[in-house]
Amino acid sequence: MTLVPPLLLRRCLAEFIGTAFLLAIVIGSGIMATNLTDNVALQLLCNTTATAAGLVALILALGPVSGAHFNPVVTIADRVFGGMKNREVLPYFAAQVSGAIVGVIIANLMFSLPAIEASTKVRTGGGIWLGEIVATLGLLLVIFGVVRSGRSTAAPFAVAGYIAAAYFFTSSTSFANPAVTIARSLSDTFAGIAPESVPGFIAMQLVGMVLAIGVIWVLFPTIGEVADEILLRHDDISPHDSSRTDSPEGTSR
């Protein structure tokens, strides 16, 4: 008899691993970029390219297990749209935040830096806060717009494409993720954020989330037919049965 871990444990483990890898990519590629060039635009391009490519891979790999949220605002929105149970939300949060912190620590250590070092990069001001509202609203609109219109197989590429664009078109460089924001305060490197800037960023991300939920309800009031769902899909798939149903749990990241 094969022992399979409980479903929620598997989902949270996937969220922990995925968020850890995401932060290792974000921080690690930022450090590598600054080691390779002094050109800030090129540094941002390197950081963006690595993050977008990593997102595609992580969502494709872990989406069928946990939905590949890697982001508390995605988890909250998924709960609002009926894709999760209340008891799953806090464990997801814990997995995402702890995974993000572990990912930052690993990235710092890979480049022979202190495991934890508070960032000195202050990111504040009305324009930057507006950038976080826009970044978060757009991210959720892309995720749920693609998924709720029945095009989930395109979601990994749509999400990564949006993040790549938002790195450049938003003044905040698109954190759009409370877990990411908290963890990035622990690395005094290219992608870091000063701890005192974290509350403002998270507050604006929550504002963006609320706005996004309203827009999504208006634009996508019903869930379309979904084929081979990747994102926001976390059915219990038996290791001995590769078959999957075509109906989503509740939402159609």
pLDDT of 238 reads: 43
Question: How far is CA 100 from each of CA 12, 104, 245, rounded to the nearest angstrom?
Answer: 13, 6, 31
Q: Is the pLDDT assigned to residue 226 strictly greater than 60?
A: no
Which of the four pLDDT bands, split at 50, 70 and 90, describes residue 223? Answer: confident
pLDDT confidence bin for 4, thresholds 50/70/90: low
pLDDT per position as a tens digit, 9-42 = 999 999 999 999 999 999 999 999 999 999 999 9
Task: Note the pLDDT tens digit of each residue in 94-149.
Answer: 999 999 999 999 999 999 999 999 999 999 999 999 999 999 999 999 999 999 99
Tell me what percent of the residues of the chain surpass a pLDDT of 70. 86
**Average of per-residue pLDDT across 194-208:** 98
| Residue 193: pLDDT over 60 | yes
Supply the pLDDT for residue 253.
39
How many other CB atoms are found less than 10 A from the CB of residue 199? Answer: 10
Out of 9-23, 84-98, 237-251, pick the least confident.
Answer: 237-251
> What pLDDT, on the 0 to 100 scale, is given for residue 252?
32
Q: Please say whether the beta carbons of 23 and 104 come within 8 A.
A: yes
What is the residue-wise DSSP string for 181-226? HHHHTT--STT---GGGHHHHHHHHHHHHHHHHHHHHHH--SPPP-
**Local confidence band at 233 (pLDDT 50, 70, 90 cut-offs):** low
The answer on pLDDT for 231 being more than 80 is no
pLDDT at 71 > cutoff 90: yes
For all residues of the chain together, what is the average pLDDT? 90
* Token pair recorded at residue 144: 């749920």
Residue 55 reports pLDDT greater than 90: yes
Q: Could you give the CA distance from residue 186 to residue 74 in angstroms, rounded to a whole number?
A: 23
Name which residue leads in pLDDT, 247 or 175: 175
* Averaged pLDDT for residues 187-192: 98
Question: Do residues 54 and 22 lie in contact, with contact meaning Cβ atoms separated by under 8 Å?
Answer: yes
pLDDT > 60? residue 243? no
Looking at mean pLDDT, say which of 176-180, 217-221, 222-226 comes out highest.
176-180
pLDDT at 93: 98
CATH 1.20.1080.10 for the 7-219 domain, yes or no: yes
Please, are residues 152 and 252 in contact by the beta-carbon 8 Å criterion?
Answer: yes
**Angle, CA 76 vertex, CA 117 and CA 58 arms, to 5°:** 60
* Predicted confidence (pLDDT) at residue 197 exceeds the cutoff of 60: yes
User: Between 126-148 and 72-80, two packed helices, what is the crossing angle to 10 degrees?
Assistant: 50
**Domain ranges, ordered by start, for the chain:** 7-219
